[in-house]
Structure 1
Amino acid sequence: MTRIPANTPVPENDGACRHLTGASFPDVELVSTSRAGVNLAGQSGLVVLYCYPRTGHPGRPSPEGWAQIPGALGCTPQACAFRDHYGEMADLGARVFGVSTQSPEDQREARERLNIPYELLSDEPLAFARALQLPTFSVDGATLHRRVTLIARDGRIEKVFYPVFPPDDHVYEVLDWLKAGIA
């Protein structure tokens, strides 16, 4: 699935991210799909970090009622959109990361299956989410990130997109913001 259904529930802005602009990435190491760990606080330059609930896995059903949770659907289409426009963001000087609370193994599987050229990070213990007070929700006993995109320069958050909808077209908002910053 590379597009989300037209009748997908739209998330509302509950103000859960208003504290993030100007904040610094926390000193938290996240397990990466390509190396032992990434500490976003130590990243210089421009970073685009999109947080998402979970990518689906072939052969595993989605949680009960998943399609009715506002903002839940669309993780794979969002990842594929960032994949398809990764070169443009790199040309604009941005490093791209995706992060969810899924296990490093699930992140590796998704990265390989979807041919993702950037790193997917695991916040399975929720240390990053807690440190930044990111919005989360629970389903089937798991705590998941709500969809939010953070753009940071030298570890300080300059732009917050929240809520993110529709996730499959969100990459265009990010590209527009990046291009405006260069102009």
Structure 2
Amino acid sequence: MDPDYLSLPDDLPVPVDDGATAHLVGRRLPDVSLEATDGGRVSLARLAGRSVVYAYPRTGEPGRPNLVADWDAIPGARGCTPQACDFRDHHAQLLARGIARVHGLSTQTSAYQREAAERLRLPFTLLADPHRALVQAARLPTFSVAGQILLRRFTLVLDDGIVTKVFYPVFPPDRSAVELLAWLDTGEA
């Protein structure tokens, strides 16, 4: 049976906050050039203005099975497509609230990510860190499965390349942009 990447099961395990992103607030991200799905390169450290970067483990491919049979049992693993769609569907609202740009980030290759960006009609780029240069330099939270090291799900708000807010863990993933919009509307932003 092919997984339905657009919906989330009701019984997904909730990830816990293990403090793995606590060191990021107030820190400038390392100047690491990442390939983007539009063919360009992006260094999060050099972004001017307010940016949002949501990190996710990996996008699934229609017609292919999950990476492992128990993917849905891994807290925070399932939901990359619904999360991307949430950011897509709320992209204009984020821009209207002062977000200059949105990027998705994973350890998948840009070629792999390009399929998802096109299929989901994302109005923003996905960034690839397949060699984990940014992951290691910034000590971003990861997990290992099936011989792959994948990012845990989190969202960063960057102001001129400095992390000013972290959402971690992100759950449910299909409400990630909505949670960000609610935070922007509180005036804490």
2:76 corresponds to 1:62: no
Tell which deviates more after alignment, 40-49 or 54-63: 54-63
Please give the root-mean-square deviation of Cα atoms over the aligned residues, in Å.
1.3
2:30 corresponds to 1:30: no
Identity %: 52
Equivalent in 87, 91, 94 of residue 92 of structure 2 = 87
SS in 1 for 2:173: coil
Equivalent in 155, 164, 181 of residue 175 of structure 1 = 181
Equivalent in 135, 155, 162 of residue 168 of structure 2 = 162
Structure 2 alignment gaps of length 5 or more: none
Q: Give, as a single letter, the amino acid of the residue that structure 2 aligns with 1:58.
A: P
Q: Give, as a single letter, the amino acid of the residue that structure 1 aligns with 2:94.
A: M
> Are the counterparts in 2 of residues 103 and 124 from structure 1 also a CA contact under 8 Å?
yes
Equivalent in 140, 143, 146 of residue 149 of structure 2 = 143
* TM-score for the superposition, normalised by structure 2: 0.93
2:109 corresponds to 1:103: yes
Q: Aligned-pair distance for 1:176?
A: 1.4
Aligned residues: 183
Equivalent in 9, 16, 20 of residue 5 of structure 1 = 9
Residue by residue, what CA displacement relative to the aligned partner does 1:61-92 show, whole Å, maximum 9, x if unpaired?
Answer: 11221111000000000000000000011111
2:120 corresponds to 1:120: no
Q: Aligned-pair distance for 1:134?
A: 0.7
Q: Give, as a single letter, the amino acid of the residue that structure 2 aligns with 1:129.
A: V
Q: Give, as a single letter, the amino acid of the residue that structure 2 aligns with 1:31.
A: E
Q: Aligned-pair distance for 1:182?
A: 8.2
* TM-score for the superposition, normalised by structure 1: 0.96
Structure 1 alignment gaps of length 5 or more: none
Distance 1:52 1:132 in 2: 16
> Are the counterparts in 2 of residues 100 and 122 from structure 1 also a CA contact under 8 Å?
yes
Q: Give, as a single letter, the amino acid of the residue that structure 1 aligns with 2:78.
A: L
Residue by residue, what CA displacement relative to the aligned partner does 1:11-62 show, whole Å, maximum 9, x if unpaired?
Answer: 0111111111101111000100013311111110001000000010112211
> Are the counterparts in 2 of residues 2 and 168 from structure 1 also a CA contact under 8 Å?
no
Residue by residue, what CA displacement relative to the aligned partner does 1:75-114 show, whole Å, maximum 9, x if unpaired?
Answer: 0000000000000111112110000011111111100000
